[in-house]
Amino acid sequence: MNPHTKLISYLSLLLGTTITISSNHWMMAWTGLEINTLAIIPLISKSHHPRAIEATIKYFLVQATASTLMLFSSMTNAWLTGQWDITQLTHPTSCLLLTTAIAMKLGLVPFHFWFPEVLQGSPMITALLLTTMMKFPPITILFMTSHTLNPTLLTSMAIA
């Protein structure tokens, strides 16, 4: 991989994480998550092995689905309450969709089957990034919305 491409990917990872962690608006948080997703894809697929390509496709599909659910959750909340602020998530359907989206992004128990396969197809440094740095933005969103999320769903996911 070209050193300039690698540098741009790592800087994009930092930028996406920073945008998501420091945002108060749903669209900015979603933008930061998408920057992270698009920045890690070249790093996963840099070895042109079929297993790496398969891991890249699985990662992209799961993250795109989770991002879509998160965007739908925020738009539903904005439609019903008129609030785009992350801390003002009040509608129960939006809370349920957001919890599902964050669980998919983090690879939590009901949605964890993709994560080991992506790690197996990734190089070691990329797997390290996937297991550490790529978890900070969704966990930050989880903490910012923790007071409104469904406690029964969170407890059942923790027990499982």
Terminal-residue alpha carbon distance, the chain: 40
Q: What is the pLDDT of residues 1-51, one digit of tens each?
A: 788 999 999 999 999 999 999 999 999 999 999 999 999 999 999 888 899
Tell me how far CA of residue 30 lies from CA of 3, 12, 33, 53, in angstroms: 28, 14, 5, 25
Q: What is the pLDDT of residues 59-99, one digit of tens each?
A: 999 999 999 999 999 999 999 988 888 888 888 889 999 99
List, as one string, the DSSP characters of 34-56: HHHHHHHHHHHT-S--HHHHHHH
The pTM score is 0.90
For residue 60, what are its two tokens? 């992209």
CA 81-101-152 angle, to 5 degrees, is 80
CA 149-18-66 angle, to 5 degrees, is 45
pLDDT at 154 over 90: no
Smallest CA-to-CA distance from 44 within 135, 132, 128 is with 128
